[in-house]
Structures are given as structure tokens and as C-alpha cells.
Structure 1
Amino acid sequence: MLSYTGTIVKILSASMAVPLVVGLIYGEDALAFAVSMTIAVALGAGMERLHDDPDLGPRDALAVVSLAWFAAAVVGAIPYVIAGHGTASALGHPVNALFESMSGFTTTGATATAEISFERHSHAVLMWRQLTQWLGGMGIIVLMVAILPQLAVNGAELMKSEAPGPGLQKLTPRIAETARALWLIYMGFTAALVAILFLLGLTGLAPEMDLYNAIAHGFSTLPTGGFSPQAESIAAFSPIAQWVFVPFMVIAGVNFALFWFLLRDEPRRMFDNTEFRVYLGLVTGFAAVLAIGLFYGGAPATEIGGITQGITENALRQGIFQVASLMNSTGFATADFAQWDTQTRFFLLFVMFVGGSAGSTGGGIKVIRWLIVAKALYRELYTTANPEVVRPVRLGGEVVDEDVIRGIMAFTLLYFLLFALAAVFIEIDTSRAAGVTLSGTEAFAASLATIGNIGPGLGPLGPFGSYELLPDTSKILMIGLMWIGRLEIVPVLALFVAGFDDR
């Protein structure tokens, strides 16, 4: 298992060449990334020498996936520590660095630094934050299976362990080809968004959107990440730019396998998909409710990018953007919704629970799980009233296997249990820390934002705030929540179950 992890770490270290080049261009922190890359390669090579049995069983695959994701976060933290050493940057602290790295790779988007600016952080460091999200979005293991022949042997088992919920589809005869197809679609959407954003900047429709910002936000939109090199997130750009992000955030929450069918002239496979239709319906419905609420609640006119917007357009844009961002765990913001009224904030918390589609880059519980849970509960009520009736759970006209239903029920129970226990711990832990006060609702939101890989919470942890003020103990817990949440709980918890060597 360690040799597989070492191979993944060694190859992943090559991605540091991107911020290294950025550092050379801007004359900032290039040495930090050169040193970090050297350390990462050495660590990976050392682990790689620990030869394992190439034939991985299901439990071994769970361990490889869990260890690989944690190792990626540890290696990703090295540049933050080196670049931040001896400076005022909060990321120089090892716990903050690991928090930022885990948040990046798990596409959470929660930050452990209170000040995001080019005065405090280099262009290279901020680009690395963005790139970690892009690498984690479609899945580190999916990427490695696509490019490493030695992993393709166990590719199906590894990919299933990385996304253990329903929805994994083998699109081609070979699993490595499926992994490459998914990554090519993902890269295509990323390139399209970068090109559109850059054109907006060139034409003056989004004056702040230069090439750096276009690439940086392309790296964090499709993976539903939420990091931005701008302190005001997407609010730093014009309303036109904000509208451009919306369809791409919605796309990121769709099962990417459906785009494969669309490209192969099989559009019915997409539009006949029950989860896809429900997902679009929920996005539309939630956005309408929020926009109407903001309109009648007096959403203020805003001036962004020199363009004054009226109340109606502002309410519509804020409602659609926030729902598209939070429902599938992107975490971008065009307004500080942590300051909105209580009813609106609770509505946004409800939206955060939904999640994107299975097979998407979105976090959360996922739409398909909610569908099956609802159908299973309805069946239970129906058969209680009609005990002589045998009623299978169907989705899209097909019977859902009972093992799948039990797995979904177990996952949902574990999700709520871990989330609730973590919320209690965070509230108690922060109450003892000097200068930190979180209400029950804010601790609740913080736990949900990390285990659901959403990012922003409420109060001081809102979209324009940060997690820097929290005690290290709470940050360490949240690092674990992000890790567990990204791998959908089971692979990580399986590490603590004895008997991995039993065959």
C-alpha cells in the first residue's frame, strides 16, 4: 500500500512545476517550490521502494485511497510552510498549512488565513492553492489511473474506493480509458471557462479579470473548490463575470459520465436520467425561492465594477449564484451571506445539505442518495400500512438493489452523526479559546461546511472571513472532517477497522 502511495506522491509533486513557473515569472517564492518539489520527490521515491503485493483486495484499495489523499495534503502543505517561514503569513504555521492543503485537495475552499492578498501571499502560493483544488476535483486516484499503467491493474477497485457512493460508471472497456475520458471532459470545461473569463477581461466587461485570475478561477470552479486569490471572492468582479460562473458551477454538479453520453450523440441518456432532472429542478427551485426572498427582503442595490445594479437584477443574481455555489459545495460568494437575515441563512444551510450529483465534483450527501432515502422511507410507510405488498425501490424504472439502499442509509446516518458530534466539539472547543466565540448555529455551519466540503460557514467563518481564528484543536478536527467528507466517510473509517491482512 505504501509503495502505491509513494508513486502517487512522486507523480503529484510534478504539479508543483506550475507554481514554480509562476514564481519565476513574478520573481516570488520560486525557490520555495523548487525545494518543496525536491522534498516531495524524495518522500515519494522512498515510499515507492517499499514493495507491496500488486494485487489489491477491496480493503487494501480503501487504505491506498485514504492514505494517498492524506499524503497529498501533507505534501501540499510543504510549500506553505517554506514560503511562510519567517513572514507574517498564517500559512507558515504547520497546522494552518495542512488545513489549507487539505481544504484545497478536498475542494472544500475553507481558508486558514485571514488575509488573502498579493501583498501578504505571493502569486505562486496563491496559484498553488487554486491548483490543489483542480487536482482534487475529478479525483487524484482517477488522475493517477489515467496516467499510470501500474495503477490501471487495480484501477476499478481504486476508483470505486475513491467515490464509494452510487454513480461510478465504466464508460469504456478499459478503466484507464474511462479515467482519461472523465479527465478530458473536466479539462475541456476548465479551458472553456478560462477562455471566456479572459475574453471578458480583454473586452473590458470584467476589468479585473486578467489571465492570472482567469486561470486561477478556472482551477477552482469546475472542481467546486471555492478558493479565490481575491479577498472578496467573485464579488471582486463585474456582474457579467458573476453570471458567467453560474452555468459552470451548475455543470460541475452534474454526473460527468452524462457529458460522455452527450458527446457520443446519446442525449437521451442525459435527459432521461432521474438524478439529473431532479438536480436541475432543485437548483432552479431553490434559486427562485432565494431570489424572491431577497427581492421582498430588500436586497440592496450594489455597485460592482463601476456598474450600478437595480434591486431586481441584484436579487436574481445573488439568489441564483449563491444556490449554484452552495448546493454543490463550490463555496464562491458574491455577497457576505453570513450577514443576511436569520431565515435566509437557515435556508442556505438547508441548501448545503443537498449536494451535487453522484459522479460530479460536488460534495455533500448527493441528490441520488436523497432520492433513494425518500423512496425507501415511503416504501416503509406504504408496506407498514399494506404488509402483504412487496414493493421494491425503483429509480429511473430500475429496481435499486437492497444492498445499495442499506449502504446509503448507513452513509447518511454516519454523515449526520459525525457532523453533529463535530459541531458540539467545535462549539465547546472554541468557547475555551481566548477571543473566539461561536454560536451554536455558527459551530453547526462550520461542521457542515467542512464535512460537506462546502467551505464558507456563518459569522466570522463566512465567505469573507476565515478559519484562522479557531484553536488548533478545532482545525485538526476539521482537517479530519474534510478528509472524511471528500472520501465519503467509508474509506477513512475502514482504516480503523482491524483485519486488513485477513484474506
Structure 2
Amino acid sequence: MPWRPNWRATVGLLGTGMKYLSVTMFVPLLVGVIYGEDAWVFALSIVAVAVAGFALERVDPDPDLGPSEALVFVTLAWLVAAVVGAVPYMLAGAGTASTLADPVNALFESMSGFTTTGATVMGKIGVERHSHALLMWRQLTQWLGGMGIIVLMIAILPEVAVNGAQLMDSEAPGPELQKLTPKIAETARALWLIYFGFTVLLAALLYALHLLGMAPNMDLYNAVAHGFTTLPTGGFSPQADSIAAFSAAVQWVVIPFMIVAGVNFALFWHVLRGEAAVMLENTEFRTYAGAIAVFTAGVGVLLVGGAAPPLGDLGGVTGGLTENTIRQAAFQIASLLNSTGYATSDFAQWDTHAQVLLLFAMFVGGSAGSTGGGVKVVRWLVVLKAIRRELFTTARPDVVQPVRLGGTVVNEDAIRGILVFTMLYVLLFGLASVFFTLDTARVGIELSTLEAVSASLATLGNIGPGFGRLGPFGNYLFFPDASKLLMIFLMWLGRLEIVPVLAVFVSSVENR
């Protein structure tokens, strides 16, 4: 049977999404007015995006989405959001020496923002030369993408909430959607309110440190900006030196919020209802917390042994078991394990053993239902249990051995989906690494194996920083356009967890 989604309905709803996305640009517009910088950029962007949105919405003012249309809409919505997000970058960069004037670079930065990847084509000078308004837009794109732009639409737009379950199932990070309330729109609102609450709390704590004299440069602008990118595990910062630009007190405050961002937000809903035992008994949460503890201890041991350069440059860590060593280990693991991408130390300068351990941490990812990227803890648990079952039943073929997670039998369809996702993830990761190596060699750029591998993992896993020139204080500008376009595709794939995007591509091709 041919796959024929109603494209008019999809386009109409995309127009609605663009219309409301233009409203979010009033935040950087206000910042631009306050600082007297680039206000015209966002005024023009709002008009252009809103007009385009209204025009597309008229294609089908009352869209009716089935499963096929929902899949196409979710897939294209993230691509359209990235294109819309690139408009202010190109306008601000026009007629200047900014790298963002180039459409590929602008789309790269925008896709990295909305997918909360945190990879950037802006070096230190690039970050410092741009306006407060443009950098706030860069921060805001990550906050919008963290909990999901589709989930936000379901929460506030009745016309989208009608098809909310199908849409959230395609967008929500993790193998399955946990419905918290009878109505899916109420679930979406609950998740966004929890997300919003943590964001406000972090921004308030950071600004309080400033008022108490413990963080002189953490003014209100920086407090809000870092609130926007911590909870979505984004990692963008308006400061060229990321969180390393701030005091140790700021870094200690940010660490628990990065860990919180990697937890399934549905568990916080249970905690707020007085059901804290649900979180403590959750197998994925306990595994996630254990992984953070183990990786932090491992990195801490290596740093005590001298894995990092002497303190002084951003790669430095004091020798011995000191507060700084513990903080550096805890911060880097909290940042990389769930794909935040902030940094307080240039781990690209650390020795090979420490970098390999960090690379393994990047593979783990956050929890299902969190804003963290990567493969996700629950998938690794199911994969390991499925492997164990296969080995067990090979020796005892007459025994029926279901895969259990937290005492609950995992559906065989879910196991198959997780195995397919994991295989696709590893396959794409490997192919992209090879492509980056060949493409850079084509233009005379020498790319180390670690740089190629980390570039692939950092974009597909929505992690952001890699190793070598892609370290936390480096950037992706030197890559050829072909590699950047593949990275944009990988970030898109990674945010939607690969399968929805490839399903649309495969179904479209088979129709021909």
C-alpha cells in the first residue's frame, strides 16, 4: 500500500508553528532594545517569519493529522525551526566579517541550538564580537528545543493537542512516552512547567551569587542566559570561556542542575505528587546516578595522577586531591554524560586515558524523558539484558526468558526497536567518522582519528564539544561545507532519535 501523507495538512501546521516561533523572537528583540544592539535584526525577522507562517497556514487552516502526517510534521518541524532560527544570524552577519553571514554556518549554529547540541562555528572572537541580543537568541533556541517545540505546541495550542499523542510519541526523547495525565495536553503542560520551574530556580540562584559578591560577572543577563542552556543540556554560553569564565561557586551550583536535566522529567512529576519512592525505585535513575558516580571517580583518580596540564591555562587542574580536582571531575562528567557540553577545563589537553574515559561517558547519554542526548541509559540496560538473555537461551533453548526492567517485562517490539536504534546509531557514527576524515583530507586538512570520531559522536549524540580542535573552547568552523551539512543532518537525526527521520526518507523513496 503506497505511503501518501496529507502534505497540505502538514504544511498548514508547519505554518502555525512558524507563526508562534516568531513570537519567541520578542525576547531577543527586548534585549536588543535594552542594549541598543541588533534590535532591527529581530524586528525584521519577526515580520518575515510571521508573514511566511501565516501564508503557509492558509494552505490548510484546519489540518487533520493521522499517524503518517504526524511523523512527517515532527520531522520537518525541527528542520523548519532551524531554518527560521538561522534568519537572525544571517541578517546580523550581513555586511560584516561574521562567519554567520554564510548560510551553511548560520544553519549549523541554528540546528545546533534547537537540537541542544552546542557545537559551534563561532570561536572565542566570534562569541565576543556579537551582540547581547543575538547571543540571547542563541541561548533561547536551546531552551525551546530542550523539552521540545512540539511538546510546547501541544501544551498551548488546542488544534495541535488533538493529535498530541502521535506527535509526542515521535518527538519525545527515549524509547517510549510516559503519559502522566488522562489528557496528553495536560502531560505536555506538566513537563514544560517542571522544566520552566527548574530554569527559573537556576537563574535565580546564579543571580543570587552575583548579589552576594560570589560571582561578580554573573549579572542578570548571564544568569538568564545560562538558565536557558543548562536545563536543555545545550551548553551554549555568551561567554567565550563557557562556565570557566565564572567562579567556583557558580560551577558548583550548575553541576546538580546538569545532573537534574539528565533525569526523566516524569519522575519529578511523581516527586511533586509526594511519590518520591517512584524515583528512588526507578532502575534507569539508579543506573544513571551510579554511572555519574563511577565516571566522576574514574576521572578524579586520573586527574589526581596528573592527567591534565598544570593549573593556569583552561586545561589545568591542580595536582592532588583538592576541591578543584573534585569539581573539575564532577563538572566534566555531569556535562558530557548527558550531553550538556559546558566546560570549566579544556579536556582536549588532558592525556589519552582521561579522554577515552570521557568518550565512553559521551556514549552513555541521559535518561529517557530527559533533555539529555546520547543513546540513553534505558537503551543500554535493555541491550545488555537482551544480550544476556540470548547467551542464556543459547545454552538452554527450552527456557523462556523475558527481559525485565525494574520488575516489568519489556515488550518484544520495544526490544526490537531499541536494538534497531542502537545498531543505526553505531553504524551512522562509524560512517560519519570515515566521511569527515575523507572530506577534510580532500581539502588538505589533517584530521586526527580522535577528532573525526568525536565530531561524529558529538553531533549525532547532540553533545557539542569533542577533542582536539573540537574541544570545549574550539569550534567546527574549519570543516568543509560538505562535512558541516552532514553534521547538520546528524544533529537533526540525533534529536529525533534517528528512526522518525529515516522512516520518512525510506517511505518517500519507496513511494517512487
The alignment's TM-score, normalised by the length of structure 1, stands at 0.96
Q: 1 CA distance for matches of 2:258 and 2:437?
A: 31
- Aligned partner (choices 146, 149, 171) of residue 140 of structure 1: 149
- Aligned partner (choices 225, 228, 249) of residue 219 of structure 1: 228
CA contact (8 A) 2:117 2:462 kept: yes
Q: Which residue number corresponds to residue 415 of structure 1?
A: 425
- Aligned partner (choices 308, 311, 318) of residue 328 of structure 2: 318
How much has 1:286 moved relative to structure 2? Answer: 0.6
Specify whether residues 118 and 52 from structure 1 end up closer, same or farther in structure 2 by C-alpha distance, changes over 3 A only: closer
How much has 1:310 moved relative to structure 2? Answer: 7.0
Alignment RMSD: 1.8
Does the residue aligned with 1:498 lie in a helix, a strand or coil? helix
Superposition pairs of residues 34-73 of structure 1, within 5 angstroms: 34-51=43-60, 54-73=63-82
Q: Which residue number corresponds to residue 33 of structure 2?
A: 24
- Aligned partner (choices 482, 485, 490) of residue 476 of structure 1: 485
CA contact (8 A) 1:60 1:500 kept: no
- Aligned partner (choices 440, 443, 447) of residue 430 of structure 1: 440
- Aligned: 1:439 with 2:414: no
Specify whether residues 116 and 141 from structure 1 end up closer, same or farther in structure 2 by C-alpha distance, changes over 3 A only: farther
Q: 1 CA distance for matches of 2:313 and 2:206?
A: 16
- Aligned partner (choices 277, 280, 304) of residue 295 of structure 1: 304
Q: 1 CA distance for matches of 2:62 and 2:500?
A: 20
Q: 1 CA distance for matches of 2:218 and 2:124?
A: 20
CA contact (8 A) 1:376 1:393 kept: yes
Q: 2 CA distance for matches of 1:488 and 1:300?
A: 37
How far does the alpha carbon of each residue in 1:301-348 deviate from its partner, in whole angstroms, 9 at most, with x for none? 64699xx97742222111110000000000000011011101111111
- Aligned: 1:359 with 2:366: no
Q: 1 CA distance for matches of 2:331 and 2:488?
A: 27
Opposite residue 340 of structure 2, the aligned amino acid is: T
Q: Which residue number corresponds to residue 198 of structure 1?
A: 207
How much has 1:499 moved relative to structure 2? Answer: 6.0
Q: Which moved more, 1:112-121 or 1:379-388?
A: 112-121
Q: 2 CA distance for matches of 1:217 and 1:167?
A: 29
How far does the alpha carbon of each residue in 1:371-411 deviate from its partner, in whole angstroms, 9 at most, with x for none? 00000000000000111110000001010000000000000
CA contact (8 A) 2:174 2:367 kept: no
Q: 1 CA distance for matches of 2:50 and 2:37?
A: 22
CA contact (8 A) 2:450 2:468 kept: no
How far does the alpha carbon of each residue in 1:31-52 deviate from its partner, in whole angstroms, 9 at most, with x for none? 0111111111111111111117
Specify whether residues 382 and 340 from structure 1 end up closer, same or farther in structure 2 by C-alpha distance, changes over 3 A only: same
- Aligned partner (choices 101, 116, 119) of residue 110 of structure 2: 101
Opposite residue 468 of structure 2, the aligned amino acid is: G
- Aligned: 1:378 with 2:388: yes
- Aligned: 1:159 with 2:189: no
Q: Which residue number corresponds to residue 74 of structure 1?
A: 83
Q: Which residue number corresponds to residue 400 of structure 1?
A: 410
- Aligned partner (choices 341, 360, 371) of residue 331 of structure 1: 341
Does the residue aligned with 2:478 lie in a helix, a strand or coil? coil
Alignment coverage as a number of residue pairs? 499
Specify whether residues 485 and 116 from structure 1 end up closer, same or farther in structure 2 by C-alpha distance, changes over 3 A only: farther
Does the residue aligned with 2:237 lie in a helix, a strand or coil? coil
Specify whether residues 218 and 352 from structure 1 end up closer, same or farther in structure 2 by C-alpha distance, changes over 3 A only: same
How much has 1:500 moved relative to structure 2? Answer: 10
Opposite residue 383 of structure 1, the aligned amino acid is: T
CA contact (8 A) 2:296 2:330 kept: yes
CA contact (8 A) 1:222 1:252 kept: yes
Specify whether residues 432 and 134 from structure 1 end up closer, same or farther in structure 2 by C-alpha distance, changes over 3 A only: same
CA contact (8 A) 2:12 2:63 kept: no
How much has 1:229 moved relative to structure 2? Answer: 0.6
Q: Which residue number corresponds to residue 207 of structure 1?
A: 216
Opposite residue 288 of structure 1, the aligned amino acid is: A
Provide structure 1 residue ranges, at least 5 long, that are not aligned to the other structure.
Answer: none
Q: 1 CA distance for matches of 2:393 and 2:127?
A: 61
Q: Which residue number corresponds to residue 5 of structure 2?
A: none
Q: Which moved more, 1:253-262 or 1:486-495?
A: 486-495
Q: Which residue number corresponds to residue 278 of structure 2?
A: 269
Does the residue aligned with 1:334 lie in a helix, a strand or coil? coil
How much has 1:54 moved relative to structure 2? Answer: 3.3
Specify whether residues 119 and 300 from structure 1 end up closer, same or farther in structure 2 by C-alpha distance, changes over 3 A only: closer
Opposite residue 30 of structure 2, the aligned amino acid is: V
Q: Which moved more, 1:391-400 or 1:294-303?
A: 294-303
Does the residue aligned with 2:505 lie in a helix, a strand or coil? coil
How far does the alpha carbon of each residue in 1:102-152 deviate from its partner, in whole angstroms, 9 at most, with x for none? 000000000011235665100001000000000000000000000100000
Opposite residue 179 of structure 2, the aligned amino acid is: K
Specify whether residues 68 and 403 from structure 1 end up closer, same or farther in structure 2 by C-alpha distance, changes over 3 A only: same
Opposite residue 125 of structure 1, the aligned amino acid is: L
Does the residue aligned with 1:170 lie in a helix, a strand or coil? coil
How much has 1:441 moved relative to structure 2? Answer: 1.5
Opposite residue 299 of structure 2, the aligned amino acid is: L
- Aligned partner (choices 470, 476, 486) of residue 467 of structure 1: 476
Q: 2 CA distance for matches of 1:184 and 1:350?
A: 33
Specify whether residues 309 and 192 from structure 1 end up closer, same or farther in structure 2 by C-alpha distance, changes over 3 A only: farther
